Amino acid sequence: MDHLLNEQQLEVRQAIRDFAEQEIRPTVAARDASGEFPGDIVKKLGELGFMGVNTPEEFGGAGMDTVTYCIVVEELSRVDPAVAVIVSVNNSLVCYPLEKFATPKQCEEWLKPLASGKMLGAFCLTEPGSGSDAAAISTTAVKNGNDWIINGTKQFITNGQMSDAYLIFARTEKSADKAKGVTAFIVPRDAKGLRRGPNEKKMGIRSSDCCAIIFEDVRLSDAYRLGKEGDGFKIAMIALDSGRIGIASQAVGLAQGALEEAVKYAKSRQQFGRPIAEFQAIQFKLADMEMMTEAARLLSYNAASKKDSGKRYTHEAAMAKLFASDMVMKVTLESLQIHGGNGYLRDYPVERMLRDAKVTEIYEGTSEIQRFIIARSLLA
């Protein structure tokens, strides 16, 4: 794979891998157990430029390409996908749509501090009554003079507890087409009437915070609107295309970590007088795990390259996310199987890895939704 990467990408990969090993790995197990948010780690990642990898330098970001962004998320996920998803959401779901739709004043006030790591952002689309049916949102924003009054509840919001800015989507007019009449807004953390629910007790990626965000008569001036009235659904879908590349890379990195743990264990575990790595049954498992991981990596880089070319990449992002999330479930499960009974214990990281993997099939569009997107593109 190295021959596909340029010198800068290889340097970034080594830098982020060293950071993940030195700064993140020592606390992974403890944070998984406690659910503690990795605040110091996120702050350091911001200082290194990884909270705005793709964002142009004039907007506070690192100005790197999307393949480099994939590498960053992948290397973080190889050690801790909980940290990786915090980075991914800020980059893909918050900074990217702001870069595309924010006014110069909004870029100065919001995008620059978000991309430089001085602020943290959250993407608020999902609601208790609208998950896969994203257009069915019931949160409302009603015009009141030059202000908007926002009411509703968003659910499963990554970075929800810790964010300084919330990119939210609300219905601003009724329409027969549910995708129309939705508008995007940037809501500051200290907005009067905004409340955060308790941190959800999740199966995996436990040190990534996740909660409900409640809006009760939150009043915002029109200066907080992102893009045109009625363009909110379009903005959300553009953000999710970008986000799916990040989740595909999260799955690839997690699978790489699980594969490395399996190889290490297979070489050290003795059965019948020799390492289990010498048995063909184990070798074939490892071969399949390597092949699937590499295939998912190539799909992710392909989607990233198409994004960088300026062409539409919805189809490629959906394929990468679908394949990678399906793949990481198989790879982490096989890694646990190679570990045998030890894999079922929290003493070994593969137990956590399997729990962490499942969410990649769910958030930023379930696997079923990805299949729908791919099929619709083929049949169009």
- Catalytic center residues: 364
Q: How far is it, in rounded angstroms, from Cα 380 to Cα 371?
A: 14
Q: How far is it, in rounded angstroms, from Cα 276 to Cα 269?
A: 6
How would you class 210 by CB atoms within 10 Å of its CB: exposed for 0-12, middle for 13-18, buried for 19 or more?
A: buried
Q: Tell me the two tokens of residue 362.
A: 């769910």
Integer CA distances (angstroms), 232 to 158, 170, 345, in order = 19, 8, 45
Contact between 137 and 151 under an 8 Å Cβ cutoff? The reply is no
The secondary structure of 109-169 as a DSSP string is IIIHHHHTTSS-EEEE--BTTBSS-GGG---EEEEETTEEEEEEEEEEEETTTT-SEEEEE
Dmax (CA) for the chain in angstroms is 80
CA 245 to chain centre: 8
Spatial neighbors of 151 by CB under 8 A, at least 6 apart, are: 139, 140, 142, 215, 216, 217, 218
Q: Map tokens 């507890």 to a residue.
A: 161
For 55, the 3-state DSSP assignment is coil
